Amino acid sequence: MIITNHKLAKEFAAFDEIRKSSGNFSRGLPDTIVIHYTAGAGAESSINTFKDTDVKASAHVVVDTDGKLTQLVPFHKIAWHAGKSAWLDRKGLNKYSIGIEIANAGRLEKSGNVWRSWFGKTYPEEEVVEAVHRNESEPSWWHRYTEEQISAVFELCKTLMKSYEIRFILGHEEISPGRKVDPGPAFPLEKLRERLLDADREEDEEDPAGKNIIKGIVDAGSLNIRSGPDTGHDTIAAPLSRNTDVAILDEQKGWYQVEVKMRGWVSKKFVKKVDSDKTT
């Protein structure tokens, strides 16, 4: 998946998208992704609706049941998917976000041995998930997303994160609670955030001071390791032998604090620094 000039290279639909986005109305680059379901049968009907210039609704990307993506609006233009919405100190999330609509029937009602969508289509048990919505307290029935859709959305979000500084991945239900319930509990939103946003943050936090880990190697036949940085401190373990790898954590008064399997202090004269390399 490649984004060039705010368009997915292969998935961009070549029709007059400008009329269905807010055209030349510019905005800063998006930093939020909003996940929706179409509450419809397949992607095609939603795409046709979004193409209809009389309908004041659009989305950047529609994800079909087989995982096929169709992009309708370039990512740097506003699409009308969020409506009245708020998150933290922001209102009207369309200005900040990329809207992804997943073809899914949404909430279902049980009738006999089948489940029925609001538009009358029936679904067998294997296409149904029973779960409690984050904004509700009782379980209800939801149309299952296909694995192809879920992996396509994960892949799309990952691709978007490479092109844009994405800070939030949110469900419509979170920015318009009370008014909207999509994508609902059948969509693994927490997992998506964990995998993409938290992983990103952990990498950032791993080395907060931006310091490199300095590695050293013991350059003496036998090197005492002590609880503090001078010979007045007790040794804390058997001496380190020549060529033992250590991580240098601190330096005081001619001593390094190092980490081997334990942490202690050694005379720096007997530790040779190894070319430092940044941990990844």
172 binds Zn ion (CB under 5 A): yes
- 199 and 280 in contact (C-beta within 8 Å)? no
Our CB check for Zn ion shows the closer of 57 and 247 to be 57
Our CB check for Zn ion shows the closer of 39 and 246 to be 39
Q: Which stretch binds Zn ion (CB under 5 A): 9-17, 59-67, 141-149, 164-172?
A: 164-172
Read off the amino acid at residue 98. Answer: I
**Count of residues binding Zn ion (CB under 5 A)?**
3
| Cα 82 to Cα 67: distance, rounded to the nearest angstrom | 22
E-assigned strands of 54-106? Answer: 61-63, 69-71, 86-87, 90-91, 97-102
Our CB check for Zn ion shows the closer of 105 and 225 to be 105
Shortest distance (Å) from residue 179 CB to Zn ion: 9
Whole-angstrom CA distances from 49 to 44, 53, 58, 238 are: 9, 8, 8, 75
Residue 217: CB atoms within 10 A of its CB come to 13
Shortest distance (Å) from residue 216 CB to Zn ion: 56
**Interacting positions 183-212 with Zn ion (CB under 5 A):** none
Shortest distance (Å) from residue 4 CB to Zn ion: 27
**Interacting positions 15-74 with Zn ion (CB under 5 A):** 36
Tell me which H or E stretch contains 248.
strand 245-252
Q: Which stretch binds Zn ion (CB under 5 A): 1-9, 48-56, 180-188, 269-277?
A: 180-188
| Cα 168 to Cα 184: distance, rounded to the nearest angstrom | 17
Among 182, 185, 248, 268, binds Zn ion (CB under 5 A): 182
| Cα 159 to Cα 162: distance, rounded to the nearest angstrom | 5
Q: Which stretch binds Zn ion (CB under 5 A): 165-173, 186-194, 239-247, 264-272?
A: 165-173
Read off the amino acid at residue 234. Answer: D
Q: Which stretch binds Zn ion (CB under 5 A): 23-31, 167-175, 234-242, 265-273?
A: 167-175
Contacts with Zn ion by CB under 5 A lie at: 36, 172, 182
